[in-house]
A and B are shown apart, each in its own frame.
Chain A
Amino acid sequence: MTALAYETYHLGLRTTRRFLRVPANWMSIIFFPLIQLLIFSQLYQDVVQLRGFGGESDYLDYLAPGQVAFAAFMAVAWSAYGLLVEFRNGYMDKLRAAPIRRWSILAGEMVPLFFQAAAMAGVVLIVSLLLGAPLETGVGGFALILILAGVFGIAFAGASFIPALLTKSEQATNAFSLLLFPIVFMSTAFVPEALMPGWMQTVNDWNPITFLIEAIRDLMASGYDWGAIGKALLSLGILGVILQAVTLWAFHRLAR
């Protein structure tokens, strides 16, 4: 465990530096979630008049928590790109030939993802607040939301890393990320469950993104709902263990 922490720290320093040294990454952190939030809140501003919204007056207030989670989701979409580049240029071989745990190599690759997911969620959150969305829990809630977004990034990382390791192709990995977008649309990010068709409500009941969104929604609109936060962490934990295990398996396959 200490070995894993030591190795992840040193490898994570490298991948975080790598992330920060590419100017384009700053663009994706700041502008993408911003544009997304502004467009959706304007485009759909009248949907709050639908019955299912239950008297909400401003769509932005409803949309903001979902967009915070969506931003973390977007962070995951391209996260295995660095791994693929380093697989191709052989740097991954150098790490694989080093006397370190295989999981540390993956964990090191995922460290910037934690910060990226938290940062992208943070940008959406700040802009939402500036546009008038509430945050009842203040600074503590703000920090907790960023941590939840970061945890989501790590838990969901396999969605990008598994196809990347199995196909070793950027195109296939990107294509697979696109296939995952419906997961967000089948959550409570855009509309409440009451407005969904029956089968989608069933999907939604098991959707980890919904648990994340609802925890954030409570932190923003009402207060610390530890039940909702616990459910979000539990569902992300289960998702994370499964996806990380499959990712590790896919990583070991490289030795074939």
Chain B
Amino acid sequence: MTTLVSIVVVGLVYAVQLGLIALSFSITYRAIGFANFAHVQFAAVGATVAVGLSFVVPIWLAVIVAVAVSGVIAVGSDLAIFRRISNASIGTKMIVSAGLLLLMQSAIQYFWGVNPRIYSSGIGTVTIAGVAVGYDQIAIIAIGVVVFAAFHQIIRNTAAGRLIRATADSPELAESRGVNSRLVVTLVWFLSGALAALGGALLGIEIPVDPLFGQEILIPMFAATVIGGLGSPMGAIAGALVLSFGQAILLDVNFAGFLGRVWHVPSQYQTVLQFLLLILVLAVRPWGLFGASRERA
């Protein structure tokens, strides 16, 4: 019971953090048609700004500022770079975005230094079925549920959501009905940068933040998005849940139990586990769990 509760809590917390980043990655993929490597740096900006400011202002204010800053940077990256190469091949766009990833990493390292910083919460814990659960963990899960529900409602049931979906499906058709597709794309970039920053900030208050934060979430982000099906927003959340719980369970299993010994997968192999889960899913369903089948020659 104790193990079960801790797996559920750890799994849900990580699923929210990763899910926000994967969801926002998926939105830009859907709207602009390529996998943006630099996306992880929007999350890293969220984490660094939130944790950096948390030493000066209350954490909720720090997170809001981080989300806004990252949204603006995302829009800026579109205006300055990605809009200029809209007619290039997918490969070119991906290489440019990888260049941006490296540039933003250099910038973060310049301002932040190489040393990791840790957010000291000082927030209490509550005991659920014998497991100490931090209020911050509960807050993260609650924020995740609210944001995912709100996102789903906005995309499915509001005028803004219909505009975004229409533009993603066919910018030309949307334009022909009077939609300002440039404005919609700008909105998508802001939303995407902001959600990534929220995910990054929520992750950053739990783990040490250093300039490699962005590169380190590259594999988990891809794994979650691809498992769910690249370009499917709800798939990204499902992928994050699969990945998060798969990993929490695998890290908890005692693989030497049948020998009467104790051997767990060391936690530094977390990324290896995620990568293996990704390969496993791709071997069975090359287009992910919720994606549309696209065969390649």
A, B in one complex: no
> A-contacting residues of B (Cβ < 8 Å)?
none
